[in-house]
Structure 1
Amino acid sequence: MSRSGQGVAGDAASAIVVGSFELGSGERYDWHDHPLHQLAWAARGVLAVSAAGRTWVLPPTRALWIPAEIRHAVEASRPAMMQSLYFHARRCPIAWPEPTAVGVGSLLRELIGYLARPDLAPDPRARAEAVVCDLLEPLSVTTIEVRMPVDVRAKRVADALTANPADRRTLAALGRAVGASARTLARVFVAETGMSFGQWRTHLRVRAALAYLADQTPVSVVASRVGYDTPSAFVAAFRRLAGVSPGAYFSDR
């Protein structure tokens, strides 16, 4: 569902319109698009935004530029406040064709709140809008993708592990629960996800860890919550997939 027309500050004369949306725990805005460019930002909490076959996890220090007409979905695993900026395409100097992560520093954060004021006069609004565009700089971010299998039995395994990434059952044990042999499931995972089951599970665990890391949960706690026996094993797996340590992933550098 899309609520881009609700809770919006600004008017037709504004180059940038601000929308504020409260999301409850587990709430999701399903696939939709807008005629305007969007900058999706979590003023509070953590958002997961999916678009163009990728998913970005966004703490308040990071936002995602979503070009006009690009279908996307937004989800919050815990309560969050999304404040989105909507840019009129013909009046926007930014023309990034793909979804692009940007850093959100203190100045940009204050400007978003400033532009959300419904009583802001046209001249100061125009000046603030120009500064916002100057502050948007791309970040290089590696996203961790997890393709889900279609086979009914493999999907039941995938759904169970998505709900509980700390589940340490072997593929044989999981297969007994869904009525399939480990060999059959292993073959299905390779055919339908492009990864071995072990690789797929690692991707799932690392992606699940991102929401905890974005919420500043200690690495030792995150490791346990996503199924690793030791923090060092988790850090090693994370670094292999993301190219950086868990502590560095959400750095703006």
Structure 2
Amino acid sequence: MVLVGERAMGHGSGFAPHTHPVHQMAWAASGAVSVTTPDGAWVLPATRALWIPAGVPHSVDVTTSAVFRSVYLDRNPHRWVRPTVVAVTPLLDELAVYLMDTALPAAPRRRAEAVLLDLLRPVTAAALSVPMPRDGRALAVARAILDDPADGRDLDAWGRAVGASGRTLARAFAGETGLSFGRWRTNARLRAALVLLAANTSVAVVSRRVGYSTPSAFIAAFRSALGVPPGSYFGSS
């Protein structure tokens, strides 16, 4: 059985960590949403969905207005046991809309469900984890960077702002987030970039807003972290 639902969600809304007894495929039919699981966080535009196996805790954050779409399935044809990103092709998207019709007769529903399952294809999409440190001074730095990803201060400068040495902040980020400060800031910048790109903001504008001196530097960082350039990430296949 496949059930499909969607909900319009505003900026700053979301769902706290929860689980489902069935498998879920989640994405933004418009805009973009961020889905976080114990394996990491993914920003999902209209062309990529996250397969969330039954029982896996996950939360949803909306950083720009979006239509959040979910497909709930009692079957796992690929036997995926970890969150997996799949391509949302135009046909898969249309089938999801078709299956939202609760009055659809059983026979055409079964045929549509079978085609939808056949269309599930994994795609490359690294998780962008941006865990928050617990240390109050490091947390203040993290929040400031999330508010302004373009802020390029180094750890010594941040230390002077929050009353700690750069070395202390480096230890806090590494020990409490599992990421070096540099990697944490890159992930924060790229996650912000994905939200902007999903809103059709140009690469040149995005690169400047998230702290890269040139579009080519931004594209290189994007490709290094996510495996593909920005245009391919938001492609339909």
TM-score between the two structures when normalised by the length of structure 1: 0.86
CA offset digits 1:34-71 (Å, max 9, x no partner)? 11111112111111111132111111111111111111
Equivalent in 190, 200, 207 of residue 216 of structure 1: 200
- Tell me the equivalent position of 1:38: 24
| Cα root mean square deviation, aligned | 1.9
Per mean C-alpha deviation after superposition, the further-off stretch among 80-89 and 30-39 is 80-89
Equivalent in 86, 104, 126 of residue 120 of structure 1: 104
CA offset digits 1:141-184 (Å, max 9, x no partner)? 22222333221111111111112111233323322222212232
- Tell me the equivalent position of 1:68: 54
Amino acid at match of 2:25: L
- Tell me the equivalent position of 2:83: 99
Equivalent residue pairs, number: 237
Change in 2 beyond 3 A, CA 1:34/1:199: closer
Equivalent in 197, 202, 206 of residue 186 of structure 2: 202
- Partners of 1:94 and 1:195 lie apart in 2 by 31
How far has the Cα of 1:94 moved from its partner? 4.2
Consecutive unaligned residues in structure 1, runs of 5 or more: 1-14
Amino acid at match of 2:136: V
TM-score between the two structures when normalised by the length of structure 2: 0.91
- Tell me the equivalent position of 1:10: none
Aligned residue runs from structure 1 range 123-162, under 5 A: 123-162=107-146
Equivalent in 130, 150, 160 of residue 176 of structure 1: 160
Conserved? CA contact 2:4–2:71, under 8 Å: yes
Conserved? CA contact 1:59–1:215, under 8 Å: no
Change in 2 beyond 3 A, CA 1:153/1:37: same
Change in 2 beyond 3 A, CA 1:231/1:145: same
SS at match of 1:31: strand
- The structure that has the greater radius of gyration is 1
- Partners of 2:233 and 2:162 lie apart in 1 by 36
How far has the Cα of 1:30 moved from its partner? 0.9
- Partners of 1:130 and 1:77 lie apart in 2 by 33
- Tell me the equivalent position of 1:251: 235
Percent pairwise identity:
52
Amino acid at match of 2:111: R
How far has the Cα of 1:112 moved from its partner? 0.8
Alignment partner of 1:88 is 2:80: no
- Tell me the equivalent position of 1:3: none
Alignment partner of 1:78 is 2:64: yes
CA offset digits 1:78-100 (Å, max 9, x no partner)? 111112111124xx534211111
- Partners of 2:68 and 2:234 lie apart in 1 by 18
Amino acid at match of 1:163: D
Per mean C-alpha deviation after superposition, the further-off stretch among 166-175 and 114-123 is 166-175
SS at match of 2:220: helix
Q: Which has the higher contact order (CA 8 A, sep 6+)?
A: 2
CA offset digits 1:1-28 (Å, max 9, x no partner)? xxxxxxxxxxxxxx11112212111111
- Tell me the equivalent position of 2:210: 226
SS at match of 1:78: coil
SS at match of 2:157: helix
- Partners of 1:39 and 1:61 lie apart in 2 by 12
